[in-house]
Structure 1
Amino acid sequence: MSNFNKGMMALLGVAMGVNGIVMLYDPQFWYYAVPTVPATGPFNQHFIRDIGIIYVMIGAGYVTGIFFPAQRIWLWAAATAWLSLHGFFHLWEIGVGICGADTILKNGHAVYLPAIIGFLGIVIDVLGRRSVIRS
């Protein structure tokens, strides 16, 4: 695996894991620290911690995949699938009028970009494996 891909996926994994830890440790801080979250409904400590567990697992999947090449694609695909579905859910909310289209720009770095980075990491890894096999 290239150092670029390793670094990109490590950064993604750490970011997702830290986000989850903050959600678990101080859900009220997280709720008010993310500007678009209060507009989605009232504070719910249990729900935020549930999602925090998911983010910790996603972060662990990305980081673990760096060290276990045989399981990498499955680990990264599972994490990226959740992030992608989360992004599509946000787009659905815009489509049905729950949120305005301006939330795409407000949420882009936190909702859509992680899924895109996860997908790119998978593609880079798969293409790298193919080039090694052809050599």
Structure 2
Amino acid sequence: MRKAQFAALALSAVLALFVGVWAYVLPQSFYDLFPGIPGPWVSVDGPFNEHLVRDVGGMYLALAAASVAGLIWRSPVAYRLLGIAWTVFGALHFVYHVLHLDHMTPVDAVGEAISLLVSLLLGVILLLPAGADRKAVTR
């Protein structure tokens, strides 16, 4: 399982860097175009707010930094803590968006729901005990 957790964390870090850099450095472009193809997903949900978009970018960059640290340390505790953070964020993010799909095309709605579900599942993978950790958890 450790390899699956490492892969989940690496993919989470890449996704967070993609979203975080784009939102923080180019907030208007992020608002207008995210995710690129399909899309846009952000601009159809309300007026542009640079402060909010940059805050979202900063939050994603913080998760990316913590995820990169977890990749370096490769500690079961780090994986679990990052799993908690990614799962809580992912669950709340997923629930909000699946309850607000009416302003999107069917293709964009499905794409958004799937991408958010994948992100959530990556966090859940980090919560699962791996190998020797599994024995310690069951004792």
1:133/1:78 CA distance change after superposition, 3 Å: closer
Contact 1:62 1:79 in 2 (8 A): no
Alignment RMSD:
2.5
Q: Which has the higher helix share?
A: 1
Q: TM-score, normalised by structure 1?
A: 0.78
* Aligned equivalent of 1:55, options 60, 72, 82: 60
Partner of 2:109: 104
In structure 2, the gaps of 5 or more residues are 35-39
**Aligned position for 1:69:** 76
Query: Which residue is 1:83 aligned to?
Result: 90
Percent of matched pairs sharing the same residue: 25
**1:63 CA displacement:** 2.7
Structure 1: tracts of 5 or more residues without a match:
none
**Deviating runs (4+, > 4 A) in structure 1?**
131-134
Task: Letter of the 1:62 partner, please give it.
Answer: S
The number of equivalent residue pairs is 129
What amino acid maps onto 2:32 in structure 1? Answer: Y
Contact 2:44/2:104 (<8 A) preserved: no
TM-score, normalised with respect to structure 2: 0.76
